[in-house]
Amino acid sequence: MLMPWTLLRCPLAHNGVMQPPCDDLMQDEHGRARRRWLLRAASFAAAAGWPLCGRAETERWPARAAAPAWNAADLEGRGWDSQAVRGRAVLLNFWASWCEPCRSEMPTLQQLAEFHGVQRLAVLAINFKEPQASAARFARNTALSLPVLLDPQGTVAKAWGVKVFPTTVLIDRNGQPRWRVRGEMDWTGREAQALVDGLLA
Amino acid sequence: MSFDSRRRFLQTGAAGATACVLPLPVFAQQRNFDPQPGPWRSFEITTRVEVQQPQGATRLWLPVPSVNSDWQQSLDNSWSTNGRAQLASDRHDGARMLEVEFAPGEAKPQVELTSRVRTRSRALDAAAGPQARLDAADLHYWTRPTALLPTDGIVRQTALEATRGAATDAQKVRRLYDWVVTNTYREPKVRGCGEGDIKTMLETGNLGGKCADLNAVFVGMCRSLGIPARDVYGLRLAPSAFGYKELGGNPASLKGAQHCRAEVFLQGRGWVAMDPADVAKVMRLETPEWIKTTGHPVVAPVNKALFGGWEGNWVAWNTAHDVALPHSAGPKLGFFMYPAGENAQGRFDPYAPDDFKYQITARDLPAGT
């Protein structure tokens, strides 16, 4: 029985975002035509700067789409919104303590923030729908020094269209979102560096 | 080598001057997993909850066995607490629970709940349910989407692909069962988790570990094709009688032993047991190596038996979705399988019980109890 590997591993088009294939397992009678199509799709994606399947999926923010309005309080009760970080590049990282890939990438986010400094880059860790105590405990146990914002009803995540955790939205100094990264990323790695440098340019 | 040919070999071999001992690794690994409905087994399940640092008034909700069928009889419940407790129920799906309310001044809110239940194993051949058909209302109810089980988009797409060429519902269910078992080996496309909805699971390709509820994916895909299916949320109670360590619980500590199974409704058979998630679990965790084929001797008996059956070392709490906890200020639960609690600051986290400590234990009761 033929299993639809490519559909399940790398759907070609989903939510309007084309994703190049991880590998080529098509063996059915339509395989050859499909492979040609996949190759074209892959070269298109490569030209667009999208990486092949891996740990995170990076997608360009549509150029004409404005940033959604948002606001949230941090663990100390201070309010944050787009005005609070005006003039700086921003990473909005959506996470939850039950999400293992979120926990896993958090130290690299912290390192990224420390490397660039708060004057240039604001990295905000927006906790999804957990009680304050849970988010605070996680921050305490991991010595997390990034601002931790609370999204108890999930309204901020919803406004940004976030359903997968972690998701990080990269916003330039003019407040224009430029990239959405779904899934765990090494924020000290080269791909991340390229993305962040683009924000600071 | 079959049992008969081995015997013949040994008989002829013994006639020789020296006997060779041949290792027979396949035979040695041969495992047996064949739950059959037999006598009822009685359990007493005790849940103890303590709220560590109460802030203001606290409310708790504890699941109690709510399923009664030819494989489970939910008996009585008793409790003791320094709060005020009553049995309550989710209005839509009949999920029963103990609801406990603690006054703001209570320094150490706690409750101990004891539930008695009788269970039996299930098997496919035995499943000739009295109810061979579902009426239109039930058909609609058991194929409906829920908050965590959307049945459109990638769910339906995936189900259609997986069942292409299958004609009958039974054949389609078989394909979907095989799909769930096989697809937990994929490296996730995206290293991320959803909130528990199956659409996000399928989109990220993350079908392993805590991010995924594989039986929910199975149920959702069945429903997307119009096949009535439901999750059955419950708790493992005891080790497996067949020696599979991954298919049992330690009765002295069951707080992490929650497990969701599934059922599908097949015409002429009624509700049939399904648990592809446990097949995947055996493949991944039963031996030190991650077994990739269902033909492997450790996996094959489990793969066969969990299509249509399961072992009676597990209690079903309920089959509820989108559960509104009575008198709660918070949102509905996608499902109700863990103790739940809240105070003015919000819901407690059932997955990381630090300020919300609970333990669950079980013991076999003598036959006839």
CATH number at residue A119: 3.40.30.10
| Residues B287, B217 share a domain | yes
Residues 171-230 of B with CB under 8 A from A: 175, 178-179, 182-183, 186, 188-195, 197, 200, 202-205, 209-211
Task: Mark whether B90 and B178 lie in a shared domain.
Answer: no
Q: Are residues B142 and B201 in the same domain?
A: yes
Whole-number pLDDT of residue B19: 46
Q: How far apart are alpha carbons B247 and B279 in whole angstroms?
A: 9
Strand order in the sheet with B96-102: B84-89, B96-102, B58-63, B340-343, B346-347
CB contact under 8 Å between A131 and B162, yes or no, is no
Considering the domain architecture, whether residues A24 and A39 belong to the same structural domain is answered as: yes
Residue of higher predicted confidence among B178 and B189:
B178
Out of A8, A129, A183, the one facing B190 most closely (by C-beta) is A183
Q: Which one of B181, B182, B189 makes the best mutation probe of the A interface by having the most chain A beta carbons within 10 Å? A: B189
Number of domains into which chain A is organized = 2
Residue B253 lies in a domain: no
Domain assignment present for residue B22? The answer is no
B214/B297 same-domain check: yes
Does A22 share its domain with A80? no
- Residue B137's pLDDT is what? 95
pLDDT digits (tens, 9 = 90+) for B102-118: 999 999 999 999 999 99
- CB of A10 within 8 A of CB of A53? yes
Same domain, B148 and B91: no
Residues B235 and B361 in one domain: no
B239, B254 contact by CB (below 8 A): no
Are residues A139 and A42 both part of a single domain? no
Residues A132 and A159 in one domain: yes
A148 three-state secondary structure: strand
Asked whether residue B210 carries a pLDDT value surpassing 80, the answer given is no
B72 in contact with A, Cβ within 8 Å: no
Supply the pTM of this predicted model: 0.81
- What is the pLDDT, as a whole number, of residue B346? 84
Give domain status of residue B35, yes or no. Answer: no
CA distance A141 to chain B (A): 13
- The answer to whether A3 contacts B346, with C-beta atoms less than 8 Å apart, is no
| Domain enclosing residue B266, as ranges | 136-248+259-311
Asked if residue B237 is part of any domain, the answer here is: yes
Cβ contact B193–A56 (<8 Å): no
Q: Is B59 exposed, middle or buried (0-12, 13-18, 19+ CB in 10 A)?
A: buried
Could you tell me if B96 and B47 lie in one domain? Answer: yes
Q: Is residue B302 part of a domain?
A: yes
Residue B120 touches chain A, beta carbons under 8 Å: no
| B290 and B325, same domain (yes or no) | no
**What pLDDT is stored for residue B2 in this prediction?**
47
Cβ-proximal residues to B274 (8 Å cutoff; 6+ apart), any chain: B173, B177, B215, B218, B229, B261, B262, B263, B264, B306, B307, B308
Same domain? For B300 and B333 the reply is no
Whether B271 maps to a domain, the answer reads: yes
Check whether residue A99 and residue A188 sit in a common domain: yes
Size of interface A-B (CB pairs under 8 A): 99
ipTM for the whole complex: 0.72
> With pLDDT > 70 as the criterion, what percentage of chain B qualifies?
88
By residue range, what is the domain housing residue A9?
5-54
Same-domain check for residues B285 and B179: yes
Domain of B183, CATH number, reads: 3.10.620.30
List of residues 6+ apart from B108 with CB closer than 8 A:
B50, B51, B54, B82
A96-116: pLDDT as tens digits = 998 989 999 999 999 999 999
**Residue B54 falls within a domain, yes or no?**
yes
In this structure, are A76 and A168 located in the same domain?
A: yes
Q: What is the pLDDT of residues A132-166, one digit of tens each?
A: 888 999 999 999 999 999 999 899 999 999 999 99
Q: Do A48 and A142 fall into the same domain?
A: no
3-state secondary structure (DSSP) of residue B314:
strand
**Using CA atoms in the order B203, A162, A140, B110, what is the torsion angle rounded to 10 degrees?**
-80
Predicted confidence band at B190 (pLDDT cuts at 50, 70, 90)? confident
Q: How confident is the model at residue B184 (pLDDT cuts 50, 70, 90)?
A: confident
pLDDT classification of A45: cutoffs 50, 70, 90: very low
Do A90 and A24 belong to one domain?
no
Contacts of A158 (CB under 8 A, 6+ apart): none
Do A50 and A63 lie in one domain? The reply is no
Q: How many domains does chain B have?
A: 2
Do A74 and A141 lie in a common domain?
A: yes
The answer on B54 and B203 residing in a single domain is no
CATH code, B65: 2.60.40.2250
At A166 the pLDDT is 96
* pLDDT score recorded for residue A1: 37
Residues of B with Cβ-Cβ distance to A183 under 8 angstroms: 188, 190-192, 204
Q: Which of A54-68, B235-249, B296-310 has the lowest mean pLDDT?
A: A54-68
Alpha-carbon gap, residue B234 to B209, rounded angstroms: 18
Q: Are residues B83 and B175 in the same domain?
A: no
Single residue among A20, A35, A54 that ends a domain in this structure:
A54
Give residue A42's pLDDT: 41
A98, A76: one domain: yes
Query: Are residues A94 and A142 located together in one domain of the fold?
Result: yes
